[in-house]
Structures are given as structure tokens and as C-alpha cells.
Amino acid sequence: MRASDSVIGGEGNGGVIHPGVVWGRDALTGAFLILSAMATGGVDLPALRAAIPVYTMLKRKYTLPAGGAAAIEERLAVLPGRCADADVDDRDGVRLDWPERWVHIRPSNTEPVVRLISEAPQEVEARRQADEIASILDLEDE
């Protein structure tokens, strides 16, 4: 976050990181940001929630292939060519972005697995894109 001058960050577990407050996950900062949005917009929590689009996020774990993280990094290198219509960010594994949907895949930092997260407006689309990327990378379920 420091290198990219990020405004806000977070973790998939709901932790919020606000550089102006603290460089770590902080639940109170998350609560403050919600309350601030409610006050600024003059809305209650249900109205604030209703204004946020609904997406489905899938989180999957796959067995780390023989060769470990280096082997999966080699496999990840093929994704930009196979998904030429996506915007690619390879700073932490590979994140592929399309309008209104994305996939992020990388080796875990804490377990011998590959993590894949897929998000799209409909569950069927999130599953389809996760299955497609797992197939391209020849990953096996954990």
C-alpha cells in the first residue's frame, strides 16, 4: 500500500486498512467509514447497503502443484496471453479484471495451496470464470 499510495486497503476477512489511521487491519476504522458515509449521505444503514451493487464472491483453494510456488508462478505467467481481453495486475499472483468481474489467483503465504478468488454479479458467472481459470492452470481441488 505504501508503494502505491493507496487510499484504503483491506483483507478478504473484512479487515480495513486506512493509512491515515493505522497501517494494520482495524475494525473501528471500518465502522467509522460506514458511519461517515451514512452521515455524509444523510442515509441510514439499509439505504446505504441498498446503494451498493450485489456481487457473488467465490473463494477456492487448490493443491499446490509439484514444484511449489515456483511451479504455480510459471503457470500464472500464461494467463495474460490466454485472457487477452482482461486487464492484468501481476504484483501479487495474477489478478484479471473485466468490466464488472474479476479473478485473483496466487500461492498462499501461509499454506501449501493456491488461492483463487472470483467475483461477478451472478454466482453462475463467478463459478464459470473460476472453473475456466483453474482449468487453464490445470489445478486440482484440495
Same structural domain, 31 and 98:
no
Provide the domain count of the chain. Answer: 2
pLDDT-derived band of residue 23, with 50, 70 and 90 as boundaries? Answer: confident
Is 3 a member of any domain? no
Same domain? For 129 and 96 the reply is yes
Helix (H) / strand (E) element for 126: namely helix 123-136
**Does residue 76 share a domain with residue 119?**
yes
What mean pLDDT value characterizes the chain?
A: 90
Do both 21 and 84 map to the same domain?
no
Buried b (16+ CB within 10 A) or exposed e, 30-67: beeeeeeeeeeeeeeeeeeeeeeeeeeebebebebbee
The whole-number average pLDDT for the span 17-41 is 90
Give residue-wise pLDDT tens across range 35-88.
999 999 999 999 999 999 999 999 999 998 888 888 888 888 888 888 889 999
Which pLDDT score, from 0 to 100, does residue 7 have? 87
Q: How confident is the model at residue 132 (pLDDT cuts 50, 70, 90)?
A: very high
Does residue 142 surpass a pLDDT of 80?
no
Which range marks the domain in which residue 24 is found? 9-50
Residue 141: inside a domain, yes or no? no
Does residue 31 sit within a domain? yes
Q: Are residues 68 and 105 in the same domain?
A: yes
- 44 and 63 share a domain? no
Residues 31 and 87 in one domain: no
